[in-house]
């Protein structure tokens, strides 16, 4: 068998396998406990994970600073946004009494406004 016949046979088999593979259904779900998304430089820019309270979503900037944090908690859920220094400047969530809360912080993370939905 010469190289030409080998290549023709190999390429024919590859095309057949690709054709067979392309007719199969693509899975509509991915199951994992942690999913990490990286940018073109390999730096983590997002994570979706699970723990005993449920799930969490963390978004990072290109410097590795957390900018958005959202998670389920034992009492409900939380959504927090941080500035480019990593200081949280906003948080919306549920307190231990299951009432809604909104907290607004200054650029250093110090609380400036804290509101609760409880009447």
pLDDT greater than 60 at residue 89:
yes
- Flag whether the pTM goes above 0.75: no
Query: Measured between alpha carbons, how far is 96 from 113 in angstroms, rounded to an integer?
Result: 18
- pLDDT digits 0-9 by tens, 40-87: 888 899 999 988 888 999 999 988 899 999 998 888 889 999 998 999
Place of tokens 């190999």: 10
Residue of 105, 93, 3 whose CA lies nearest to 53: 93
- Number of residues that make up the chain: 119
Query: Measured between alpha carbons, how far is 110 from 37 in angstroms, rounded to an integer?
Result: 31
User: In the chain, where does DSSP find H-type helix?
Assistant: 3-22
Domains of the chain from N-terminus onward: 27-116 (3.90.930.1)
Q: Is the Cα dihedral 17, 22, 23, 24 positive or negative?
A: positive
* pLDDT of the residue at 39: 87
């Amino acid at each position: 068998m010469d190289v030409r016949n080998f290549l023709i046979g190999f390429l024919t088999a590859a095309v057949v396998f690709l054709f067979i593979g392309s007719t199969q259904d693509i899975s509509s779900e991915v199951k994992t406990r942690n999913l990490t998304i990286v940018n073109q430089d390999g730096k983590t820019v997002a994570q979706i994970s699970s723990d005993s309270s449920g799930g969490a979503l963390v978004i990072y900037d290109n410097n590795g600073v957390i900018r958005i944090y959202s998670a389920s908690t034992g009492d409900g859920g939380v959504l927090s946004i941080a500035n480019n220094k990593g200081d949280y400047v906003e948080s919306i969530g549920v307190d231990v009494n299951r009432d809604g809360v909104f907290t607004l912080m200054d650029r250093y993370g110090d609380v400036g406004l804290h509101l609760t939905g409880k009447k």
